[in-house]
Amino acid sequence: MQTGSNSTARWKASDTRHHLHPFTDYKALAEEGGSRIITHAEGVHLTDSEGHRILDAMAGLWCVNVGYGRRELAQAAFDQMQELPYYNTFFKTATPPSIELAERLTALAPEGLNHVFFGSSGSEANDTIVRMVRHYWALEGKPEKQVFISREHAYHGSTMASASLGGQAAMHGQGGLPLPGFEHVMPPYWFDYGDTLSPEAFGEAAARAVEDKILAIGPEKVAAFIGEPIQGAGGVIIPPESYWPEVARICRQYDVLLIVDEVITGFGRTGHWFASEHYGLKPDIMPLAKGITSGYLPLSAVMVGDRVADTLVREGGEFFHGFTYSGHPVCCAVALANLDIIKREGLIEKVQNETGPYLAERLRDLSDHSIVGEVRSLGLVGAVELCADKANRTHFDPVGKAGVICRDHCIGSGVVLRAVRDAMVISPPLIFEKAHIDEAVETLRRSLDLTAQDMGMI
Ligand code: PMP
């Protein structure tokens, strides 16, 4: 493919003219001269159209778990495309890759999640869940159990139902969201909501907010609670250890289904196949996507527990829901090859025993920085919270400005990190070595210095 300044200028102009990007301010993008064009990637590095080599400490969008340039995944796609490039899974048909992947996922997932419904994206998975759960309660003779409870700052996707499940105020400000039947409670975000409580006491208080909401709505109307084990796109909010056991207990007490969204945390990110293992969770339903194929092809899976699936099977009647690409054979074949790589290369053990603890240690080194209020991580996902006043956990004004400045300094220095409000977020490929962590953290430290200057702190 042609690269260099000539093609870069042409691509940027054409992109700005014709291409509406996700989550983008189109006016600002045009004024800033258009997009960065990524043309190639290998291992943990991206190359842009001007030949810059960039360390990808975000694994794309938290998804390229096995890193870029895996010939084995390309081969799996090629072979499956030759054998059977497409067939659907509607109308009593199936394909070998979709069957094999369903079996493999149920063997890996937490106990009881023995059934799989496929889609192409995390959003589709969560929309599927909303429809399936409401259908389940109707079949159980409790059609009034319709309401979903989620958290502020949650991200569950961009479709109407998944964005309603999400707790992103900016998203809710557009298009009349959330839809009726979606309620939100305080997230287990000690840095912002913890006030004078200890993290553990705050974790219990945040769990109680779930109980209070169930009681306010009426348990007979609450279908399910949904939460990411760690709220990723909301800023890598890692709950105090007291939070999840209490939420799980409350869900059981009021007969509310527990949905654990592992779209980011699945497939090794936290040093386990699923973060549910770390928190001792037994979800009724668990959506998966991203790392399932390491982002090489679009695929999602709703893992459905015996309780819900048994009712669907016992009661019968068609579930009027599905996608053309549910169980796409090429995507499933790539997912199987991707799971092979994760297992064969011991990537989960590597995160748990080596790189996860090392990332935690290196991030801790940043705690003494004048604009760092908190560092947090689990496995290979972490955040560095920037603030104006460490002692009082006071944010910069306006919130989000320092984050963008710091992110731009990082990218300008050749490392992709992300800013969520003023939290600098890291979520690299699971093949990251200690030297890559050093490079990312040292670049972040230099960027923090520059950000402190830009914000008038030095
Ligand atoms: N759930 C979570 C936890 C996510 O982080 C995301 C995407 N970042 C989604 C769902 C939606 O996935 P998709 O973008 O594939 O629709």
Residue 2: the pLDDT is 54
In terms of Cα–Cα distance, which of 49, 30, 25 is closest to 39? Answer: 49
CA of 263 to the centre of ligand 1 (A): 6
Residue 392 lies in a domain: yes
C-alpha triplet 25, 31, 32: angle, nearest 5°: 85
Query: Is the C-beta atom of 120 inside 6 A of ligand 1?
Result: no
Q: Which two tokens stand for residue 152?
A: 């502020």
Task: Find the CATH number of the domain harbouring 45.
Answer: 3.90.1150.10
Distance, CA of 458 to CA of 447 (rounded, Å): 13
Do the domain assignments include residue 78? Answer: yes
* Within a domain: 447: yes
Whether 44 contacts 428, CB under 8 Å: yes
Q: How big is the chain by its Cα radius of gyration, in Å? A: 22
Last residue of a domain, one of 344, 378, 406: 344
The SS3 call for residue 102 is: helix
Pocket residue to mutate for ligand 1, from 171, 290, 300, 418, most atoms within 8 A of Cβ: 290
Write the CB contacts of 428 (distance below 8 Å, at least 6 apart in sequence). Answer: 44, 56, 57, 58, 59, 380, 436, 437, 440
Long-range Cβ contact pairs of 52-56 (< 8 A, separation 24 or more):
52/414, 53/414, 54/411, 54/414, 54/415, 54/416, 55/414, 55/415, 55/416, 55/436, 55/439, 55/440, 55/443, 56/416, 56/428, 56/429
121 lines ligand 1 (CB under 6 A): yes
Compute the distance between CA of residue 415 and CA of residue 445 in angstroms, rounded to an integer.
12
Longest dimension (CA), the chain: 67
Distance CA 287, CA 239 (A): 19
Beta bridge partners of 383: 376, 425
| Token pair 């997932």 in the structure block, residue | 109
Domain membership flag for residue 435: yes
Task: Give the distance (Å) from ligand 1 centre to CA of residue 354.
Answer: 27
Residue 230: give the domain boundaries: 72-344
Interface predicted TM-score (ipTM): 0.99
Residue 72 dihedral angles phi and psi, to the nearest 5°: -60, -35
Characterize the bridge pairing of strands 381-386 and 372-378: antiparallel
d(CA 27, CA 354): 44
From 344, 369, 398, give the residue that closes a domain: 344
Q: Is 165 in the pocket of ligand 1 (CB under 6 A)?
A: no
Same-domain check for residues 148 and 272: yes
Same domain? For 355 and 248 the reply is no
How many structural domains does the chain have?
A: 2
Q: What is the DSSP letter of 355?
A: I
| Residue whose tokens read 């991580």 | 377
Q: For the whole prediction, is pTM greater than 0.90?
A: yes
Can you say whether the dihedral through the CA atoms of 61, 67, 71, 73 is positive or negative? Answer: negative
Structure confidence at residue 6 (pLDDT): 79
Splitting the chain (458 residues) into consecutive groups of 10 residues, what average pLDDT does each group show? 77 96 96 95 98 98 98 99 98 97 98 98 99 98 98 98 98 97 98 97 98 98 99 98 98 98 98 98 98 99 98 98 98 99 98 98 97 98 97 95 98 98 98 98 98 93
Q: Ligand 1 in contact with 305 (CB < 6 A)?
A: no
Taking the C-alpha atoms of residue 79 and residue 94, their distance in angstroms, rounded to an integer, is: 18
